[in-house]
Structure 1
Amino acid sequence: MSSTSPKRRHFNTPSTQALYDNYHFPQATRVGDMIWVSGQVGLDASLRPGKGVEEQSHLAFQSLQRALDAAGASLADVVELMSFHTNLHGDMQTFSKVKDQYFRSQYPSWTAIGILELAMPELHIEIRAVAVAGCGQLETAKPMRD
């Protein structure tokens, strides 16, 4: 490994440092311009789950914004989004509406997965993301050719 190899850096916001200390994972990991954001859930500042899918979705996207900011990026730099839903079909319309408030035009690739449960029984959704710092300028999408 050369001395110019990118280094791995971990990022935690002050409100999530306890998660790192107790469960041993950072909110974001950055290597070069690539940033991987751990799953963000709908907890408020007191670590209480939001009421319903809409509030939890807003809280999760706000946590995602804070993790990206700590790592030197923004939502515009997100290239991949994964969402996990305990009621995929029932929650999709509400979740999509909230998602579109945070990603207004530069839509990342997105995978939505239905699951049985999350870390707390009151949680409905979790999101994780991959970002490339500084790539937030989107080129016009071109149709794919067969």
Structure 2
Amino acid sequence: MQADYTEYHFSPGFEAGGFLFIAGQIGLDENGDPPEDATEQARIAFTALGEVLGEAGLDFTDIVSLTSHHVGGVDRILEWFPKVKDEFIVEPFPAWTALGVTGLAIPGLVVEISAIAQR
């Protein structure tokens, strides 16, 4: 993620006041392309979220707030997103906000996930 820091001038994670603020993570495959399957994009994004947590010596149980941004109808995400989320997030469950958006930074992306973790 060093390239994002250098090129776009943002931190994947930033610690302040005992919290780690994690920038939105997206689901690009090994070729840098978004998979067509939304669940696969979400899994890749959660994996990237875990990498940022790990760099800070934290894990998914330290997340206190989770925000997911969804393209193409936030009303349909309950059919699939909670199942993927539950592969990574366990009790005690963090606060979760799901937002519908018209688009994300890279064409083809349908989900972006950000979080706040407590040290």
TM-score when scaled to structure 2?
0.93
Contact between 1:34 and 1:130, CA under 8 Å: does it hold in 2? yes
Richer in strand (by share): 2
Rounded Cα–Cα distance in structure 1 between residues aligned with 2:104 and 2:19: 26
Q: Is 1:70 equivalent to 2:55 in the alignment?
A: yes
How many matched pairs? 118
Q: Is 1:117 equivalent to 2:93 in the alignment?
A: no
Following TM superposition, where does structure 1 have runs of at least 4 consecutive aligned residues deviating by more than 6 angstroms? none
Contact between 1:53 and 1:91, CA under 8 Å: does it hold in 2? no
In structure 2, the gaps of 5 or more residues are: none
The aligned residue for residue 132 of structure 1 is 118
Q: 1 or 2 for the larger relative contact order (CA 8 Å, sep ≥6)?
A: 2
Rounded Cα–Cα distance in structure 2 between residues aligned with 1:132 and 1:37: 11
Contact between 1:52 and 1:124, CA under 8 Å: does it hold in 2? no
Rounded Cα–Cα distance in structure 2 between residues aligned with 1:56 and 1:92: 16
- Partner of residue 41 from structure 1, selected from 14, 22, 26: 26
Structure 1 residue 83: Cα displacement: 0.4
Please say which structure displays the higher CA radius of gyration. Answer: 1
Rounded Cα–Cα distance in structure 2 between residues aligned with 1:116 and 1:94: 19
Q: Is 1:20 equivalent to 2:5 in the alignment?
A: yes
**Secondary structure of the residue that 1:80 maps to in structure 2?**
strand
Q: Is 1:86 equivalent to 2:71 in the alignment?
A: yes
- Aligned-residue CA RMSD (Å): 1.2
Same amino acid, percent of matched pairs? 37
Q: Deviations over 1:6-40 (max 9, x none)?
A: xxxxxxxxxx1111111000100012521000000
Q: Deviations over 1:55-103 (max 9, x none)?
A: 0010000000000111221100000000000021223321111001111
TM-score when scaled to structure 1?
0.76
